[in-house]
Each structure stands twice: as C-alpha cells, then as structure tokens.
Amino acid sequence: MSKKAWKILLWQDHHNGRLQELLDCLACFYNIIHKNDPRLSGWFSFGLDIIYENSIKYAGLPFSEWPRIELNSAIFFAIEMALASTSRDNSIAGAIQGEGCWKSPQEFARQWAMVAAQMGSRLGESYAVLLAARENPKAYAQFLRYFFYYWRKKTRKRKIFVIYGKERINECKSMMLEMGLLAVAHLEDRDMAEVLAKDVAQYIQEQGVDIPLSLFPLQCELDKVLKSSKLYKSSQHLVVLRSMQEPTREDERHSLDRLRPLLSPLPLAQWPKDLYWTDVLYEEFPWMDKAVRVVERQQALSQNLGSERLHFRPLLLLGPSGVGKTRFLRRLGELLGVPTIFIPLAGSQDSMMLKGAARGWSSARPGLMVEKMVDTKCPNPVVILDEIDKIGLGRQNGRVWETLLTLLEPSSSSSVLDEFLLGEVNYSAISWVATANDLSDIPVPLISRFEIISVDTPKADHFNCILKNMLQDVAREYGQDSKNLPVFDPEVLDILRRQFTRNHYSLRYLRRAIFRVMEIQALENRKSTIDDKEEKQGPFLQ
C-alpha cells in the first residue's frame, strides 16, 4: 500500500480545528488534573501553556509552516498527551470520563496521536494506528505490519532512542510488540502472517521481551500461527498443547508463560540409526531378551512404513520383584536417546498428578507429563508407569486408572483436557511402559491397553554381567569412574554369587549386598589409614 493511500485513510476525518478542540477539553479539567496528580504538573503545565500560545499565534497556518522549535515542542506535548490518556498510572483518563468533554480516554488519546501525526511525527502516526487497531484490528492489520518493520529497523541494536528530547526506546518496543502481535492475529494473507509471525517471534527472543498480561491472548495467537506454518507441517514435529485458556491473575500468567513452548511445534525424537542399543541391552540384560525383541520389532515396522519418529505401543513388563524391570526401562530410554519420565503409581489415589490441578487452589499445577515435556522440549518421551498393579482405587479427583485409559487409548490421547491449562494436550506420541508383579489387581480395561511381556528371572550365569552393570551404576551415582571402585577379592565374589542364587536371583538384594561389602571395605581402609597416621606421629606425641 502506498504512503499516500494510508495517509488518506488515517487522516481523512481530520480538520484544522481539531487541536483547538483538544486544548479546550484540557482547559475543562486543568485544575482537576493538578489537584489529583501532581506528577503531571511539570510537562503538562509548561507544555500546555506553550502549545496554547502557539495555536493562537500560528492560527490558520498549516503545521508544516510552524517554526521548527515550536513544532517539535507541540509534537512532544501531543505524544505525551496521547500516552498519558491511556495510562493507568495518572488521572487524565479519569478526568476525561468525569468531565465528559470527550467520549472516551482512548479516543482522546487517538486524537492527540493524530495531531502529532499531522505535525509530521512518525511516532504519532504509529500510535494513532495502534489505538485505531485496538477497536478494529482487521482493518488496520496491514498498517500494523508496516509499522512493526519500520520500528524494528529503527530500534534494532539500540539501547537509547531519543525522539523529541525524550528517551523512548521502551515505548517504541512496547508499541512495536503489540503491533506485531495484532497484525499476526488479523492479517488475511496467511502466508504473510506466517512470515511476520517468525519475525515477531525472533524479535521477542532477541530482546528478551516480557509480554504483559494484557497481550497474552495475542501471544497464544502467535504460537498458533507458528505451529500451522508450512515450516512445521511435517512428521518431524508435534504440537503438544492445542490450546490454553488465558490467565486471570499475574501469578497464573508466569506459570502459564513457562508452558508456552508447548504451543509451538517441537522436534520429535527419532529412532537410532543403528541397532547398537539392542546389542547393549542383550549384553546387559540377557534375561530381558523378550522385551528387547518386542521394541526392536516395533522399530522395524515404523521404519518400514517410512516413519523415523520414535514411538512404540504400550508395553507392560510382568515379573517378580527385584528382577530389574524398572532399571531395564530406564536404560532403554537412555540408549534410545529419549527423555524418560518416571511415575511411581504404588498407592496413588489422586489423578491430579496426571491431568493437572485446577487453578485457584494452592496445589494448582499442570499434569506431571506436561511439566516434564516443557522441561525436556520433547513431545515423545518414554513414560514409565512403575508398579501399576499397586495403583490405588480411590475416587478422589477421579480414579487414576480411568485417567490412564484416556491417555493410553489412541483415539483419545491426542486431545486430553488438562485442568490447570484448561486446554487440550496431545499425548499421542508418548511411548508408555509399565511394570507389575501380578495382573490380578489391575482392572481388566487397563490391562487391555498393554502388550504383556513376561519377564524371566535372571540365571546364575548372568551374575558377572549384572555385577559389572551394578558397579557402573554405583560409579555414576557417586560421580566416579568405575575403575576407581574397589576390587572385590575372589572370596567376596563367591559369597555374593551364592547370596544372589540363594535369594532367587534378586537384583535388588544383590545391589544391597554390593553396597554393604563396599561400606565394610571403606571402614577398614579408613581404620587402616588412621592407624598408620598414629604410628607415624606416635614418637612426637609422647
């Protein structure tokens, strides 16, 4: 659109007497403003006197023929009036409504901005467009886009930006942000809106802008445009959060703002390019070969169908306690290179952990998986439902297992309401795995959602690989290299092996026994060190 065209649209209802009308209105509540808001007395009194005198002195002359000093002074006053009339921090808006000399503070501000624009101020033009767009954003979307790019170019990489004798970098950036967000939400050309959305998002990231609560709905619109962009229309990304109700309080805004990345497409974790992960699992967990084969089959099917997205159907490892089910699943997630979310279900009675706690309560928060996904920026983690057979059957805030039915069912998992977000969450890309010792206490509908894998008990000849892996776990736990751990004597190893066999090949018992042996060795080493030190220092202490 040409400069001439948008100037005609903006100022077509303007006339030379507008400035005098605005000044007459100010005169009506001059004393009220001074009484109620002394902070305005400086620029307001001084500026009003000057512009009033100049409006009389140069009556009949176009603004372009005013002397430059007087014109700049008038522009400064007009812009200050436009900004102050819509500010919540002073009494001008209240005085306008109280005196009734103008129909609304917003319109009063727009008229002052238009006066500044007539005087040749680009800042006045921009603010007049923004104020008009707040009432009719679709009609002014193109203008908003134009001014966003105009001020981005002017203010980029500048910490100070003086206009008409005042530093206005924050005013310009705030105005530019609202213009960009409004334009993205209301441009009819969606290709143009997508390009603008990328630029606005980049600007927000570059500047580290803290978006005010009043603009939060527009921020959500920006995220929606970004997620529908052609750049993200691929199987490589997923939008986790389909919608989110705007906050009503500032503390809610900060909580919700942290979750905004889920409104945009997030990259999906991919299957490993080779089968290294299977080789490691077969070596470390030879008794878990059935589970490894099931996951390997699902990878093969996914890749055969042309999908590299890491995802497998819900699995349930069924077997006695202490055989390493949970440890295996954690290691699986680690080797696949995908975040693992651990959810202990033993005795769990409250489904709020899964579906979020409603706003307004002290315990208000989104579901655990939502928080973990925003922390990891991964929409398809592995979620471990540990000890699902010991799940509580209480009805407080809904049964946990009934909530799980919704999350595990393909037809419903892509649109699950989170009670804190008041929006729909897409859980369809999650790979669910569960552990259980017995199926008798699990509701039948829940069992039907899983592929059951019976886990064998480790054998005696698995002792060496189990011991090696457990020592590596101990080293990681203490932040050490496994080479720094003490070496067990053959007699100690033989005792551990016998205990392992006697306790039904329980990994849990073996882990406790290993720690006990290492603690005993550590105490003996410390006592030996103290004895040596006392022996060396003995003659000097006599």
Lowest mean pLDDT among 4-8, 156-160, 327-331: 4-8
Task: Choose the weakest-confidence range: 128-142, 299-313, 359-373.
Answer: 359-373
Specify the pLDDT at position 301: 93
**Residue scoring higher pLDDT (143 or 18):** 143
- CB atoms closer than 10 angstroms to residue 69: 9
Across all residues in the chain, what is the average pLDDT?
A: 81
What is the rounded CA–CA span in Å between residue 248 and residue 229?
29
Residue 13 pLDDT greater than 50, yes or no? no
**Helix or strand run (H / E) with residue 522:** helix 507-541
- Return the sign of the alpha-carbon dihedral for residues 523, 525, 530, 531: positive
Q: In sequence order, which residues have a C-beta less than 8 Å from that of residue 198 and are 6 or more positions away? A: 226, 229, 231
Q: How far apart are CA 218 and CA 223, in angstroms?
A: 9
290 has a pLDDT exceeding 80: yes
What local confidence, expressed as pLDDT, does residue 391 receive?
Answer: 87
User: For residue 252, what pLDDT is reported?
Assistant: 75
Residue 317: DSSP 8-state? E
Q: What is the DSSP string of 452-503?
A: EEEPPPPPGGGHHHHHHHHHHHHHHHTT--GGGSPPPPHHHHHHHHHHHHHT
Q: What is the pLDDT of residue 256?
A: 81
Provide the pLDDT for residue 378.
93
Give me the pLDDT at residue 317, please.
Answer: 97
Chain centroid to Cα 362, Å, comes to 21
Rounded distance between C-alpha atoms, residue 115 and residue 54, angstroms: 14
Note the pLDDT of residue 512: 86
Q: Alpha-carbon distance 37 to 88, whole Å?
A: 12
What pLDDT digit, counting tens, does each position of 52-80 carry?
788 888 887 888 888 888 888 888 888 88
Going by pLDDT thresholds of 50, 70 and 90, the confidence category of residue 529 is low
Element (H, E) at 386: strand 382-386
283 near 466, Cβ under 8 Å? Answer: no
**Rounded to 5, what percent of the chain is helix, strand, coil?**
60, 10, 30
The pairing of beta strand 423-425 with beta strand 266-267: unpaired
pLDDT of residue 144: 92
Task: Let me know the angle formed at the C-alpha of 9 by 8 and 15, rounded to the nearest 5 degrees.
Answer: 65
DSSP bridge partners of 391: 346
Binning pLDDT at 50, 70 and 90, where does residue 217 land? confident
- 40 pLDDT exceeds 50? yes
pLDDT at 36 over 80: no
H/E stretch holding 368 reads helix 368-376
Burial of 59 (0-12, 13-18, 19+ CB in 10 A): exposed
pLDDT at 477 over 90: no
- Lowest-pLDDT choice from 17-21, 157-161, 346-350, 473-477: 157-161
CA–CA distance from 381 to each of 12, 247, 338, 435 (Å)? 58, 28, 6, 17
Per-residue pLDDT for 410 more than 80?
Answer: yes
CB-based contact 514:470 (threshold 8 Å): yes
What does the DSSP 8-state code read for residue 209? -
| Beta-sheet strand order (sheet of 315-318) | 340-344, 382-386, 431-436, 315-318, 451-454
The whole-number average pLDDT for the span 142-149 is 91
pLDDT tens per residue across span 375-406: 998 999 999 999 999 987 666 656 888 899 99
Tokens of 381: 């983690």
| pLDDT, position 11 | 45
Given this model, what pLDDT does residue 151 score? Answer: 85
Cα 129 to chain centroid distance, Å, stands at: 32
Look at 44-58, 219-233, 371-385, 425-439 and tell me which has the smallest mean pLDDT.
Answer: 219-233
Q: What is the pLDDT of residue 2?
A: 41
- Please state, in angstroms and as integers, the Cα–Cα distance from residue 82 to each residue in 114, 116, 127, 442, following that order: 9, 9, 8, 66
The string of pLDDT tens digits covering residues 328-386 is: 999 999 999 999 999 999 887 778 888 887 877 777 888 899 999 999 989 999 999 99
Q: Pick the closest to residue 195 from 220, 223, 229, 221 (CA basis).
A: 229
The pLDDT of residue 432 is 97
CA–CA gap between residue 365 and residue 360 (Å, rounded): 10
Whether the per-residue pLDDT at 229 is higher than 50: the answer is yes
What lies within 8 Å, CB to CB, of 538 at 6+ separation is: none
Which segment of 33-47, 101-115, 283-297 scores lowest on mean pLDDT?
A: 33-47
118-122, 164-168, 342-346, range with greatest mean pLDDT: 342-346
Better-predicted residue by pLDDT, 501 or 231: 501
Region 176-192: what's the mean pLDDT? 89
Alpha carbons 349 and 286: distance in angstroms, whole number: 35
Does residue 64 contact residue 80 with C-beta atoms inside 8 Å? no
541 — pLDDT class (breaks 50, 70, 90): very low
**Confidence check: pLDDT of 107 > 60:** yes
Instruction: Dump the DSSP string for 87-120.
Output: -TTSSHHHHHHHHTSSS-HHHHHHHHHHHHHHTT
pLDDT of residue 440: 92
Q: Pick from 52-66, 161-175, 391-405, 426-440 the range whose average pLDDT is largest.
A: 426-440
Angle at CA 301, nearest 5°, toward 297 and 304? Answer: 135
pLDDT of the residue at 542:
41
Which of 271-280, 443-452, 523-532 is predicted least confidently? 523-532
pTM of the model: 0.61
